[in-house]
Amino acid sequence: MKKIYTLIPVLFFAVLVKAQPFTQLWKKVPGSAGFTTWAANDNSQNSIDFNATTNHLLVAKRGSHIKVVDPTNGDSLSALVLPSTLDTYRFAKVRVTSDGVIYAISMQVTANGSCWIWRWANETATPTLCATFTVTERCGDSFGLSGSGNNTILYASGAGLTSGTINIYVLNTVNSLNYFVDSKINIPTSGSVTQWANRVVEPVINSLTSDLWILCGGGPARRITVGSKDVNNVRVGTVAFDMSTTTVSNLGGYGGMRYISNGVNPNMYLSFGGGNNVTVGTKMKTINVKDEANITTYGIDSLGDISTYVSNANGTGDVAYKYNTDGTYTLFFLSTNNGLAATKSDWTILPASLSNFKASIQNKNVMVEWSTTNETNNQGFAIEKSMNGQDFSQIGFVNSKSINGNSSAVLSYQFVDAKLVSGKSYYRLKQLDKDGKTSISNIEVINNPFTGSLVINVLGNPVRNNLSLNVKSSINRNLQINISNASGNLLLTKQQTINTGENNFLIPISQLPNGVLFVTVKDKENNTTEQTIQLMKN
């Protein structure tokens, strides 16, 4: 089954003939109504990110503020609370985790000094200083993160040295509140290239040894691999792929870049936006980097006539993105001194024979159903589930009903998920060909609101060494907490007494195997009060 998932052949044809993969939704330029802080020749509007928890866009103006913006029209809604200490170069870059925690880095412009990172638990919270670390070069121009909760990893770099070795500082945490430098990634310079990561550091996965996409302002993007720590907590970064070797290397001048990949869209993209270049300074360009031997341009969007371009001495720009429930995504691109725009991608789910796919609550279970109108070389379907819409894990597999993987008849399938949890659950299908190729369906969302007197949430998912639980209860309780694997085997059990109100506690789980875990919390005196939460340990 080589292709995946659209509804009818007419829609498939419409996708193929569509000329422009991006449709601009709105733009804000200097003087636009609804966003009064835009100004040309300011050079300080330099960073954006999307908060999936609140469905808001955050726009940072270095040294001044972080605005909360309506992603549907670009209008200002509010602003984050400012830190008590207002350093000159605060908010050089802002980034948001999948669970809505906001981080912003303060740039250190001297050769030796301290870099600060501020943390907001949410958009209305008072910020806290979560990291202060010493650097040996300018740092804070580039800032990235991966993961959430206790698994959050922060990355900081900057203009680097004029010669020698460039550092990327990797910060880790044990409680998501305070961060420490786990290691420095050294990237040896080569020839005239002396500022490898002075604008962008983008991790590929949530790991201290993740590959990183880096960007020097005005230069090509590069992917580096990261080695193990030595005795001095230094890792060596090795350039594994240099974009200047590709046929779509016309990326000079861009100052912002984001790496885009999640379950909705199986392809991986790099999106570039803004910078100090009259050719690209008002544009956003997205390229497909899934196959580095055959990189292609996905699409381009622009603020408008480049004759109106205002120079940007800082060479900054940025890109953020939002996944939509229909399988498309919205890109936001920032062109410092010139404006901010939102553009929607073309249909990202590839065409094929899935005629319907739905999930529904039936008898305290989730029924996942789908049909196909034809199948070619199909092995079957993995059913995947997520609690946040981004981190998915397999909960089952259904083999193809076709003969030898091929069928032109309508075939119907079902899968029952017996682990109904409170709140939202996200389901998708991963179709597997016999030759090992996979394709991803759209996402179905189940909302099971819990209205009882006991509410349980996991703080941070995936988890690593400690499971952090937040429990709200209307009475004092004695809880039994069981952790099992996807096969139902009990791995750990714990008794916990909680008080009326809000309770937070940690359960060490470093000894448990990685993979999908199910946490079942039960009131020992009231066996009918029980909740199950799915999480991923890595």
For every residue of 134-175, DSSP letters joined together read EESS-B-SEEEEE--GGG-EEEEE-S--SSSEEEEEEEEESS
Q: CA-to-CA distance for 166 and 186, rounded, in angstroms?
A: 6
Q: Which residues 6+ apart lie within 8 Å of 481 measured at CB? A: 469, 493, 494, 495, 496, 507, 519, 520, 521, 522
Residues 74 and 188 in one domain: yes
Residue 263 is predicted with a pLDDT of 45
Reference 173, options 263, 103, 255, 80; nearest CA is 103
Tokens 């020749």, residue?
41
| Amino acid in position 148 | S
How many separate domains does the chain show?
3
Determine, yes or no, domain membership for 11: no
Residues 278 and 406 in one domain: no
168, two tokens: 């990327």
Residues 399 and 318 in one domain: no
Residues 269 and 177 in one domain: yes
With vertex at residue 449, the alpha carbon angle to CA 445 and CA 455, rounded to the nearest 5 degrees, is 125
Q: CA-to-CA distance for 143 and 117, rounded, in angstroms?
A: 10
Residues 329 and 186 in one domain: yes
Residue 327 is predicted with a pLDDT of 61
Handedness of CA 343, 349, 351, 354 (dihedral sign): negative
Domain boundary among 448, 482, 499: 448
Domain boundary among 448, 480, 508: 448
Determine, yes or no, domain membership for 7: no
Are 183 and 475 spatial neighbours (Cβ–Cβ below 8 Å)?
A: no
Determine, yes or no, domain membership for 331: yes
Q: Residue 248 burial by CB count (10 A; 0-12/13-18/19+): exposed, middle or buried?
A: middle
Burial 108-137 (b: 16+ CB within 10 A, else e): beeeeeebbbbbbeebeeebeebbebebeb
Reference 317, options 170, 141, 140, 104; nearest CA is 141
Residues 334 and 206 in one domain: yes
Q: CA-to-CA distance for 53 and 307, rounded, in angstroms?
A: 38
| Amino acid in position 325 | T
Are 305 and 281 spatial neighbours (Cβ–Cβ below 8 Å)?
A: no
CATH of the domain at 518: 2.60.40.1930
Determine, yes or no, domain membership for 48: yes
426, two tokens: 């996200």
- pTM, to two decimals: 0.64
CATH of the domain at 377: 2.60.40.10
CATH of the domain at 236: 2.120.10.30
Are 533 and 519 spatial neighbours (Cβ–Cβ below 8 Å)?
A: yes
Which structural domain range is residue 443 located in?
Answer: 354-448
Phi, psi of 164 (to 5 degrees): 95, -120
Residues 280 and 320 in one domain: yes
Residues 442 and 470 in one domain: no
Domain boundary among 448, 482, 508: 448
- Cis check for the bond before 203: say yes or no (omega within 30 of 0): no
Residue 129 is predicted with a pLDDT of 95
Handedness of CA 489, 494, 499, 504 (dihedral sign): negative
Residues 171 and 111 in one domain: yes
Determine, yes or no, domain membership for 237: yes
Q: Residue 335 burial by CB count (10 A; 0-12/13-18/19+): exposed, middle or buried?
A: buried
311, two tokens: 């120079």
Q: CA-to-CA distance for 496 and 200, rounded, in angstroms?
A: 44
Show pLDDT as tens, one digit a residue, over the chain (538 residues).
443 333 333 332 223 333 468 999 999 887 777 655 555 567 888 899 999 999 999 999 988 899 999 999 999 999 999 998 878 888 889 999 988 999 999 988 777 788 999 999 999 999 999 999 998 888 888 999 998 998 899 999 987 655 556 789 999 998 999 999 999 998 876 554 455 667 899 998 888 999 999 988 767 788 999 988 899 999 998 888 888 776 555 556 788 999 987 544 446 889 999 888 887 888 899 998 888 888 888 889 998 875 677 888 888 899 999 987 666 789 999 998 888 999 998 754 433 467 678 899 888 789 999 988 777 778 899 999 887 777 788 899 999 998 888 877 888 999 999 887 767 788 988 888 777 767 777 788 888 765 456 778 787 777 888 888 888 776 788 888 999 887 788 999 999 988 877 788 889 998 888 888 888 888 887 665 677 888 888 7
Residues 123 and 226 in one domain: yes
| Amino acid in position 515 | G
Are 367 and 385 spatial neighbours (Cβ–Cβ below 8 Å)?
A: no
Residues 186 and 237 in one domain: yes
508, two tokens: 């060490």
| Amino acid in position 2 | K
